[in-house]
Copies of this chain bind each other. A is one copy, B any other.
Amino acid sequence: MKPAVCLLSGGLDSATCLAIARSEGFDCHALTLDYGQRHHVEMIAAVKVASSFGAKHLVVPINLRLFGGSALTSNIDVPKSGPADGIPVTYVPARNTVFLSLALAWAEVLGSADIFIGVNAIDYSGYPDCRPEFIAAFEQMANLATKAGVEGRTRVKIHTPLIRLSKSEIIKLGSKLGVDFRLTHSCYDPDGEGRACGLCDSCRLRLKGFVEAGFEDPLEYPK
């Protein structure tokens, strides 16, 4: 089995992405970044999801709170009134660049040329680093950044199997591949017990996706 590094946040997209990598026969090495996110409870979700698939799992601390600049990493409020125009304040500057770079580092050590990331450019929050053109540029850079690039041995591939799927399609696919959505966490602003708010953009996208898929979201939301 070829090794692959799979970025895993603990949300339903990355859980489904991990399930896809596994179904394609990769030996999955899940990588979770503990980046000082407001919804730190997603770390627990990531551990449970990785474990449910028997994947190797590494949680790497990288405190993006030192830079701030996002509602997820500073004291800016998470919007609750539904999607607005433009890039939302929950955007974390260069987050996917940092995450993919760390995935690339681990992949190179493992001798892996395959990195999976659950970015999505359909039912998403409009973040610049979820777009296909960003992923293509990262892949091109990655192939010059590493030993393999110099030696022309292998070509690093950034797999984005969800990028053109709607949230409901992701949920249906994840369900088919055995994702236990009870273990996942999507909310940007959970309460002290880790319960989802039901109102942030991420909760709204998730809830809409479950409705459209005709499934019930197993998570508990405020009445």
- A residues touching B (Cβ–Cβ < 8 Å)? 58, 60-64, 66-69, 87, 91-98, 100-102, 104-106, 108-109, 128-129, 131, 133-134, 137-138, 140-142, 144-147, 149-150
Contacts and interface: CB of A to CB of B under 8 A. Distances in A.
B58 A147 contact: no
A47 to B, nearest CB: 15
A119 to B, nearest CB: 12
13 contacts: A58-B67, A60-B66, A61-B62, A62-B62, A62-B102, A87-B147, A91-B147, A94-B108, A94-B142, A97-B105, A100-B101, A134-B145, A141-B141
Contacts of A105: 64, 67, 92-95, 97-98
Query: How many of these chains are in the complex?
Result: 2
B109 A101 contact: no
A209 B104 CA distance: 33
Nearest to A143: B137
7 smallest beta-carbon distances between A and B, as pairs: A69-B109, A93-B108, A94-B105, A137-B141, A101-B101, A134-B144, A128-B150
Contacts of A97: 101, 104-105, 141-142, 145
Contacts of A69: 108-109
